[in-house]
Structure 1
Amino acid sequence: MPDRTKHLLGLLLGTEEDWPRAFETLVARLGPVRDPAGTEHALATERITVEPFDLRAKPRYDLVIDRLAYWYYVPREWLKKVALMDDVYLLNSPFTFQSMEKHAAYCAMMRLGLKVPPTWLVPYKNPVDHAKYAYTAAKYNEPFDLDAVAAEVGYPLFMKPYDGGAWRGVSRITDPAALHKAYDSSGEMLMHLQASVEGYDSFARSLTIGPETMVMRFQPEKPMHERYAVQHGFLSPDAGSEVVSISRLINAFFRWEFNSCESLVVGEEVYPIDYANACPDISITSLHYYFPWAIGALLKWSVFCAVTGRRARLDLDTRNYFEVADSQLDYDAKLAEYRKLADEYFDTAAYHEFCATSLPNVDNMVRDWVSSPDFDALLVDTVRTTYPPAEHDRFVAHFRGLIGLWIQEG
């Protein structure tokens, strides 16, 4: 029988270096962790390599944090194998990657009654590279009036790829000339047209890891190092609670446990506009002030899942959500029921009890490490690999200041 008190946490990585180093360091510093029965558990990390694999081979990992398989199919298929055959716990589920393509995510949240702006999908501008396309298009593709679709959506609107990613191909469109220019440039990208939410008061980006959520003021028009404003209380209590509920609902629905959500807030109204980001940016140079919270939350949720033997649920249980959506409850009452379903999925009460009893010193450990020369060396290394040499001093000082503010306010 395998030893159930030793847990290997696998990191499936692309180009990232900063948060993996932070995560590895904190796991190494963690020491033994007692489960609710008092048994000690040991945890370690390992970076996963990509290589041929036997479908019947037994993996050594209890949990894998995946940051690669959304675009690299070999590790994606390995993840499916270890989830289906070996009960390896995954952040995130490879079975809902299709939903990372914004279209399915929009449809699901519209079905649940969220205030997603009017959205249409339009065909490719250029033919796809497929031998059967010309015949199929000639026989079945209906001609369509792009201007009529845009008029139905309403100006101003956004044209954006259905599969998204780092603001690729996103255009704000205010008139037919700009509409056709953007569409002509879209090539083989499949595009949505989505109504703009004008005059919003706040752009909120919420990062959710397990049952924990950080809501941040986002400034998309600014350079990456300034997009997350350090501003507390920028939403009213009701709007802030709604953003949290929507974020956790989306994650529980799709079995994502490491995802970010973007919402526009007008007064007390919350309009989710992008919430299929199941490989969210958590770089030091992006999150800065919020980075220690993110790495601490990722550590605690990963340890909770591994030590308690949390089992992945590959089925989505959509009917539970749709029954709420189809009920006579008003919007606020439905959101409260969705929050209950999300808390049930994330074992929220058990998680917080585990953190209080089995991980009582983690927050202080994170703070001590972030205050150390070791963390500062990681910060400097990240700046040096991210920015040109002439900007190193400027950005080291910039990020040291923001991290120092987090330490001071804690």
Structure 2
Amino acid sequence: MPDVEHIIGLLLGTEDDWPRAFEALVKRLGPVKDGAGRTHGIETKRVTIEPFDLRDKPRHSLVIDRLAHWYYHPREWLKKVALMDDVYLLNSPFTFQSMEKHAAYCAMIRLGLKVPGTVLVPYKHPVENSRWAYTAARYNQPFDLDEVAERLGYPLFMKPYDGGAWVGVSKIDNADELHAAYDTSGERLMHLQQAVEGYDVFARSLSIGPETMVMKFRPELPMHERYAVSHNFLGAGPGMEVVTISQLVNAFFRWEFNSCECLVRGDEVYPIDYANACPDVSLTSLHYYFPWAMTALLRWSVFCVVTGRKPRLDLDTARYFEVAARDDLSYGDKLARYQALADEYFETERYQDFCASRLGMVDEMVHDWVTSPDFDELLVDTVKGTYPEAEHEMFVSHFRGLIAAWIHDRTH
């Protein structure tokens, strides 16, 4: 029997592919020893939703949350177990609730990142509230939407201040499109944001703990083709900047399972979206990169529970803002200091040592699993649950080919 036992909870919505993968890898991993020689047993359990007493003691050591950004009952359970019981969470429900995309823009602008010009415009149709008419009559100022757009400059984007999955996002090239998009925004509060024209690369980075994978993203293509299998598509400088921005955002807000989108034009990096409470880790989206994502998620989760890492609910933003206020530091110097703050938060050096000394077998274990019939069964089941029957054979072949490319690159 292990000396210590841990449960990693999976709080899930409609997903089944990556949870099955993660569960399979945890079972294959077996007990892990800590620095004192104690063995830690780890198992997974899917979290169910039911009444909970605020004084109940959870059995979980860590919860991977994929649901609470929109389902409020489990979100309040997560807050309770973090505040009262020190359960470790991926991600923080506190900051994802109060510091969505709008607050993330504000914070990163203050830190000096190259966020495109952004304006928050009032509701087209405000949410229902009996006090609205009185408040609007006294305090709402009339504004010229065309003037706001012209000040930012066409083309631009209109997008929800808190949205995700590209819902409600419109590219706008002229006044007619501007008013059409605003008229249909309804009760959604919208940003207007400058477009970055002539960019060279759309980079989407997925960060899990201190690990980041930067991928070439093609948003105009169908989901199964959006992540290009491409290596070294960014120069060393922009590539490092994209990684630093991703890890800076996550350390600043205590997000540990999050994706970031940046547009790269020449050597300039423009972050445009970096508050994703439920980043895409689907097998049919990530394909080639899916084994890496599962490996990183396994390593970070195990590191957190075995080392007894405690949740940090305080943000300590002053340390970041002190760097931002330094006039004697260049942009590159500030990025280096932000990276150091992120490394401190994620205990990057300790994590790397833990992976080398305690999880050295994980890469080979994941390779063996990906080449096994069990993984192929998962792939086939995922395709059948995602695409129409007439397309099953085509997509099974498509994703098998991409996974074969990962296996080849991993072994050559």
The reply to whether TM is greater than 0.5 is yes
Using the alignment, how far apart are the partners of 1:100 and 1:141 within structure 2?
Answer: 24
Using the alignment, how far apart are the partners of 1:228 and 1:100 within structure 2?
Answer: 27
- Counterpart code for 1:290: Y
- 1:278 aligned partner: 277
- Counterpart code for 1:368: D
Residues 1:333 and 1:99: Cα distance change in structure 2 (over 3 Å): farther
Aligned-residue identity in percent = 73
Answer whether contact 1:119 1:194 (CA < 8 A) is retained: yes
Alignment map for 1:1-400 (pairs within 5 Å): 5-99=4-98, 101-328=100-327, 329-400=329-400
Moved more, 262-271 or 130-139: 130-139
Answer whether contact 1:99 1:254 (CA < 8 A) is retained: no
Moved more, 35-44 or 248-257: 35-44
Answer whether contact 2:3 2:38 (CA < 8 A) is retained: no
Using the alignment, how far apart are the partners of 1:99 and 1:360 within structure 2?
Answer: 38
Gaps of 5+ in 1: none
Using the alignment, how far apart are the partners of 2:298 and 2:128 within structure 1?
Answer: 43
Deviation string 1:187-213 (CA, Å, 9 cap, x unpaired) is 111000000000000000000000000
- Counterpart code for 1:355: C
- Counterpart code for 2:210: P
Deviation at 1:100, TM superposition (A): 5.4
Answer whether contact 2:69 2:97 (CA < 8 A) is retained: no
Gaps of 5+ in 2: none
Deviation at 1:4, TM superposition (A): 6.8
Deviation string 1:55-89 (CA, Å, 9 cap, x unpaired) is 00000000000000000000000000000000000
Q: TM-score, normalised by structure 2?
A: 0.98
Residues 1:375 and 1:19: Cα distance change in structure 2 (over 3 Å): same
Moved beyond 2 Å, runs of 4+: 98-101
SS state at 1:46 partner = strand
- Counterpart code for 2:330: D
Deviation at 1:36, TM superposition (A): 1.6
SS state at 1:263 partner = strand
Answer whether contact 2:216 2:228 (CA < 8 A) is retained: yes
Using the alignment, how far apart are the partners of 1:115 and 1:4 within structure 2?
Answer: 49
Using the alignment, how far apart are the partners of 1:6 and 1:98 within structure 2?
Answer: 31
- Counterpart code for 1:143: P
Deviation at 1:98, TM superposition (A): 3.0
Moved more, 387-396 or 33-42: 33-42
Deviation string 1:15-68 (CA, Å, 9 cap, x unpaired) is 000000000000011111011222111100000000000000000000000000
SS state at 2:119 partner = strand
Deviation at 1:138, TM superposition (A): 1.2
CA RMSD of aligned residues (A): 0.9
Deviation string 1:279-313 (CA, Å, 9 cap, x unpaired) is 10100000000000000000000000000000011
Using the alignment, how far apart are the partners of 1:62 and 1:93 within structure 2?
Answer: 15
Answer whether contact 1:100 1:277 (CA < 8 A) is retained: no
Answer whether contact 1:89 1:312 (CA < 8 A) is retained: yes
- Counterpart code for 1:120: V
Using the alignment, how far apart are the partners of 1:299 and 1:407 within structure 2?
Answer: 19
Using the alignment, how far apart are the partners of 2:350 and 2:200 within structure 1?
Answer: 36
Using the alignment, how far apart are the partners of 2:36 and 2:234 within structure 1?
Answer: 41
Deviation string 1:202-247 (CA, Å, 9 cap, x unpaired) is 0000000000000000000000000000000000011100000000
Deviation string 1:162-202 (CA, Å, 9 cap, x unpaired) is 11111101111111111001111111110000000000000
Deviation at 1:381, TM superposition (A): 0.3
Deviation string 1:247-304 (CA, Å, 9 cap, x unpaired) is 0000000000000000000111100000011210100000000000000000000000
Deviation at 1:155, TM superposition (A): 0.6
Deviation at 1:101, TM superposition (A): 2.5
Answer whether contact 2:238 2:269 (CA < 8 A) is retained: yes
Answer whether contact 2:3 2:39 (CA < 8 A) is retained: no
SS state at 1:277 partner = coil
Deviation string 1:362-408 (CA, Å, 9 cap, x unpaired) is 01101110111000000000000000000000000000000010011
Answer whether contact 1:263 1:270 (CA < 8 A) is retained: yes
Deviation string 1:86-119 (CA, Å, 9 cap, x unpaired) is 0000000111013552100100100100000000
Using the alignment, how far apart are the partners of 2:66 and 2:169 within structure 1?
Answer: 23
- Counterpart code for 1:402: L
Number of residue pairs aligned between Structure 1 and Structure 2: 408
Using the alignment, how far apart are the partners of 2:225 and 2:132 within structure 1?
Answer: 44
